[in-house]
Structure 1
Amino acid sequence: MPEIRTPPPSFSMDPAYHHWQTFGVERRVLVVARTVTTVTRLLDVLSLFEDDPRVQPFFTFDGSNPAIFSAGLPEFLHSLGTTVVPWAQAVKPGFDLAIAASENDDLAELPSPVLLIPHGIGHQKYYPRTEIVSGLNPSRLRGKRLRLGLSHGNQLRHLDGNAPPTVVIGDPCHDRMLASAHRVPHFRRLLGADSRTHVVLASTWGPDSLVGTDHLVPQRFLAELPLDEYRVSLVLHPGVWSAHSPFQVRAALATAIRGGLTVIPPQHGWQATLLSADCVISDCGSMPLYATAAGVPVIIGSPISDTVVSGSPLAELLTKAPRLVRSDLASQINATIEAGPVPGIAEQAVEYPGKCAEILRPLLYAMLDLTEPARPAVFPPLGDPAPQVQPPTTLRVAVHNEGATLAVTRFPAAVPHTGEPLPGTHVVAHAELSTLADLEGAAVIHRDRTDDFPAWAAETARRRPTARLIAATAPGRCLIRTEDGATTTLAVPPDVDPLAVASAAYWHAVRNLPLTTLRFRLGPHQITAEAD
């Protein structure tokens, strides 16, 4: 476990503390961290204190009462570079405000005022095998100085007469997404989806989740959706990473990762990924609601859990959204995109959209007994996602004639093909990065540099006699060596993957057709490659 930065044991009462501080701190905010999920939600709230040196946050977590999904929490806090105080110190005087996103810590022990916000989009679930709404357990909403923030007034029906003072604040997470809508083209470029349909698989935790009900769901999408037309990303609930460990998550997804699956790490990036999606495939977690509220259509790919609160926005969405069909994914995705998000859901899930900062910041400063900054209360845009992606090294390529042109359709060879056989299928393998088994069965062998091509191609053809074509690529051109030893250089537009030319050339070569001009379709693009 990495070292956690902690302050002096009695920092809050030590007079010397006020002499060595630099920023003139007047108020100390305690952030009660329970899981990675709660921390990411509380960071949205903390962003409202940016550029105000009077307010300093400190983090704490109760190690004696850990959450089920607490694994990875100390490491995440360490990565933030923040100051963490032990729970025994957190329950002593010295803090002016505590903010939390889970009622499962003993918030009544904290002597300061406490603001409790949801750690999802409102309160949409029951605790398993109960009728208690998660996040609103009356036995845990204790403390004379506790205040409760809700995302929508319709959640007031779950509270009884003994509930703490409550204010409807909207949803900070949703509003940060709204504040980042102009960055979607940038996010899409970072995620490799700027010219492709971006399909996001968003799974919560548990056996009834999207991935829990079908562990192979990422592979199924990669097997059916052409690489040049679709980008498939996966967002897993931080609880999945916590319960199984990052090592096991990567092991369970190994084939899909080799097939080009974009994996979003649990600490950050999921909001930007949802925003950049054309369609989200999800389950009974918060993700389909966040996607719908952001204007992204969803498909539900898991059974409806009995933990979903009846009459909630999530329950309505799960009833009205299309269900995932296990065949012809492309047609269903395209139809869902055309239909758009289920109407009327976003208004029930988040009240005062775009106004949360204007409501929440005055509340925070009033609880701190501080004057608000003069600048407008707004959330900053989201940071860049940090996708983890491994481009496929071996491709399964189908080529067929479409009248005057060819159609080239590419899939990752690492993912087993499902469905009807594809016409004109051949394997394209990287000379250095593919496996030996892939190389032995490849019709086209390539590398992504063109230096010393004649000698390298001749040696590769000698060592791999079953290959029908040897290729080398560079931006704007593809060098080809056919079985008879002839070489050709084909020029392509600079924004086209030159490796696709090798498959069109292979189709021509096996039919003894000239390679002077190749016309083919790659996804939505019509391409012409001319011999130099």
Structure 2
Amino acid sequence: MVHNITSATRLLDLLTVFEGDRRVQTVFTCTESSALDEGTLEFFTSRGMLHIPWEEATVRKFDMAIATSRGGDLHNLRTPLIGAPHGAGYNKLLKREAGSGKREAGSGKREAGSGKREAGSGKREAFGLSPEWLMHDGRVVPSAIILSHDEQRERLAASCPEAVPVSVVAGDPCFDQLQVSAPFREHYRRALGIRPGQKLILVSSTWGRGSILASDDSDTDFLRRVLAELPVDEYRVLAAIHPNAWYGHGAWQLQNWLAPLTEHGLLLPVPDTETWKAALLAADGILGDHGSLTMYGIALGIPAVLGSFSESKVAPHSPMARLGEILPRLSARRPFLPQIEEAAAVQQETAELHQLRETVTSRPGESATLLRRLLYQWLELPEPVTPATPRLVPVPSAVPVGYSSPVERPVYVSASSGESRATVRRYPAPVQRRTMERHLAATHLVADIDDPDARWSRSADVLILPLGRPRHLDGLLSGEDIAARYPGCALLAIEESEDGCLALLRDGVRLRARWQGERPSWASAAIAASVVYDHALSTEHSPRPVRIQVAIGAETEAGLLDIALL
């Protein structure tokens, strides 16, 4: 039973226990009870999943049914039902429709089925552990309720004691998969386009009010801020968007809203794949909220800061509520980078976080064995003789890049240098709010001469003429020509090859910059041009030949750049 894309992706984690067993035929259906079930049929079709209408599912007799949500008229099934969570345990609350005993997602269709449900005690109890979602007409609907940790059974006993006898603590298959895949971190980083020496910041947004995407006046503000403040050569930023937000608004709409950020480097994978798992394994830090991905990240030991956290959406006394108490909140008055660096420095040794990590599963590494045992018992089939083991997270087949531009994107660059060393940091210019960004002090603007937004080329300190565009050269052979056409330009850098560039200064001086020896992966004509610009500014008299050791951060491999007079 698929409630929406979110429940479908977790359901696939469970169904791996049947891989290779031709005795088991699986059929899928959508309960048609979610306000956020857009894309479900396409999900079935694109994966070749045999599916039937919900009405047919309720009248046919199957050997077993599995659901990772409680929405829909599950009590109408003529089949033993196995219920499981679709996140990191049972941590969320859902609102009740006044007077009806039903629940809703917050807009559009209601979240619960149309059947009568138990009224419950009115307490704020976790979705999936309360009578409203487990009982119908005085009986427990699921034949078995899968829990990932013993503490969930304690909360179940307090909220719905009738369901305790059918509860089974079977661990967390998603976390076990992440754990067994962790040694292959470098494979996931390469697949996501993370260069050696770069760090990946994962921004995780759940759905609804109070999430990262919905907690500010601008849907892109948290993402914009992280992308704006982190040097582009040292950091990559990936947004993991909850499927309910992605399909609730529509994939096109989310991609359209975030296009100004994906154009400047934001990685935005489709959420119905396992790329988010690969991103977690590749991540160096998380800006999260009250979604399950933040909890999984903490359990993996990844430093995290909360950009948003909605206490009203979180079940009291749950591990997620504890996460909200422990993790630091992102301050608007301080830069993001030192905040995530501080989290990295202290969180590994924090006893409270260590205890919180333990609440994700009380059967670490055992979920495949326990789940297969449970499901085959209900099927009344002997288990396969091969051991039950977690599948590795698949390596993404393509880098999730939203936009690739044929022109060099404009950047603000700091190129602090000494006598023979320069450290370069570049920041995407169009996502900055210049009057507010402290990291832009003492920077110069670098832009492509053909940028379609003429504001950048006309105001740039350094103009880049990439390789293969010789048409400009006839009219730009002197400093006067450059000044006449581009008033802000102090240096025109003509890319000659991957090894460097020819630099024309406004005063007529010409320099050639070439990378020497083994060129670092980040070295480019644009970075060379910024070093030349800084060298020319810092020289009291005319620029002179020099060899400069260039780095893009304190810990990156340096490259050697020779600057020669022509």
Same fold (TM over 0.5): yes
| Counterpart code for 1:249 | L
Q: Does 1:197 align with 2:210?
A: no
Aligned positions of 1:320-399 closer than 5 A: 320-326=326-332, 327-341=334-348, 342-385=353-396, 387-390=400-403, 393-399=409-415
Corresponding position of 1:472: 495
Q: Distance in 1 between matches of 2:191 and 2:449?
A: 27
| Counterpart code for 1:136 | L
Within the candidate set 203, 219, 223, 1:218 is matched to: 223
Corresponding position of 2:70: 103
Cα deviation, residue 377, structure 1 = 0.4
| Counterpart code for 2:440 | L
Q: Does 1:258 align with 2:263?
A: yes
Within the candidate set 75, 89, 95, 1:128 is matched to: 95
Within the candidate set 128, 143, 146, 1:146 is matched to: 143
CA deviations on 1:286-313 (whole Å, 9 max, x unpaired) are 1221111112121112244123222221
Q: Distance in 2 between matches of 1:495 and 1:190?
A: 16
| Counterpart code for 1:529 | L
**Any conservation in 1 of the 2:500–2:512 contact (CA below 8 Å)?**
no
Corresponding position of 2:543: 513
Cα deviation, residue 476, structure 1 = 3.9
Aligned positions of 1:57-206 closer than 5 A: 57-63=26-32, 66-128=33-95, 131-142=124-135, 146-159=143-156, 160-163=160-163, 165-194=166-195, 195-206=197-208
Aligned positions of 1:459-498 closer than 5 A: 459=475, 464-466=485-487, 467=489, 468-472=491-495, 474-483=497-506, 484=508, 486=510, 488-492=512-516, 493-498=519-524
Corresponding position of 1:241: 246
Q: Distance in 2 between matches of 1:473 and 1:80?
A: 47
Cα deviation, residue 109, structure 1 = 1.9
**Any conservation in 1 of the 2:415–2:534 contact (CA below 8 Å)?**
yes
Cα deviation, residue 165, structure 1 = 0.9
Cα deviation, residue 403, structure 1 = 5.5
**Any conservation in 2 of the 1:519–1:528 contact (CA below 8 Å)?**
yes
With over 3 angstroms needed to count, the CA separation of the structure-2 counterparts of 1:403 and 1:318, relative to structure 1, is farther
With over 3 angstroms needed to count, the CA separation of the structure-2 counterparts of 1:423 and 1:88, relative to structure 1, is closer
Cα deviation, residue 470, structure 1 = 2.3
Q: Does 1:289 align with 2:289?
A: no
With over 3 angstroms needed to count, the CA separation of the structure-2 counterparts of 1:458 and 1:443, relative to structure 1, is farther
**Any conservation in 1 of the 2:239–2:269 contact (CA below 8 Å)?**
yes
The normalised TM-score by structure 2 is 0.82
Q: Which moved more, 1:123-132 or 1:291-300?
A: 123-132
**Any conservation in 1 of the 2:227–2:266 contact (CA below 8 Å)?**
yes
Q: Distance in 1 between matches of 2:45 and 2:502?
A: 49
Q: Which moved more, 1:170-179 or 1:412-421?
A: 412-421
5+ residue gaps, structure 1: 1-31
Q: Distance in 2 between matches of 1:41 and 1:456?
A: 55
**Any conservation in 1 of the 2:202–2:239 contact (CA below 8 Å)?**
yes
Q: Distance in 1 between matches of 2:416 and 2:291?
A: 42
Q: Which moved more, 1:339-348 or 1:432-441?
A: 432-441
Cα deviation, residue 440, structure 1 = 2.1
Corresponding position of 1:7: none
CA deviations on 1:258-314 (whole Å, 9 max, x unpaired) are 221111221121111122111111111212211111121211122441232222211
Q: Does 1:529 align with 2:561?
A: yes
Corresponding position of 1:29: none
With over 3 angstroms needed to count, the CA separation of the structure-2 counterparts of 1:230 and 1:57, relative to structure 1, is same
How many residues are aligned here?
497
Q: Distance in 2 between matches of 1:58 and 1:447?
A: 57
Corresponding position of 1:440: 458
Q: Distance in 2 between matches of 1:436 and 1:53?
A: 62
With over 3 angstroms needed to count, the CA separation of the structure-2 counterparts of 1:479 and 1:84, relative to structure 1, is farther
With over 3 angstroms needed to count, the CA separation of the structure-2 counterparts of 1:401 and 1:491, relative to structure 1, is closer
Q: Distance in 1 between matches of 2:448 and 2:82?
A: 55
CA deviations on 1:393-443 (whole Å, 9 max, x unpaired) are 221112223454222110001112333373542222234455332222223
Corresponding position of 1:11: none
Q: Which moved more, 1:222-231 or 1:142-151?
A: 142-151
Q: Distance in 2 between matches of 1:212 and 1:518?
A: 46
Cα deviation, residue 241, structure 1 = 1.1
Corresponding position of 1:267: 272
Q: Distance in 2 between matches of 1:288 and 1:84?
A: 32
RMSD: 2.5
**Any conservation in 2 of the 1:407–1:520 contact (CA below 8 Å)?**
yes
| Counterpart code for 1:522 | I
**Any conservation in 2 of the 1:476–1:494 contact (CA below 8 Å)?**
no
Corresponding position of 1:8: none
Q: Distance in 1 between matches of 2:296 and 2:144?
A: 24
**Any conservation in 1 of the 2:520–2:559 contact (CA below 8 Å)?**
no
Q: Which moved more, 1:280-289 or 1:141-150?
A: 141-150
Cα deviation, residue 381, structure 1 = 0.8
Q: Does 1:42 align with 2:6?
A: no
Q: Percent identity?
A: 32
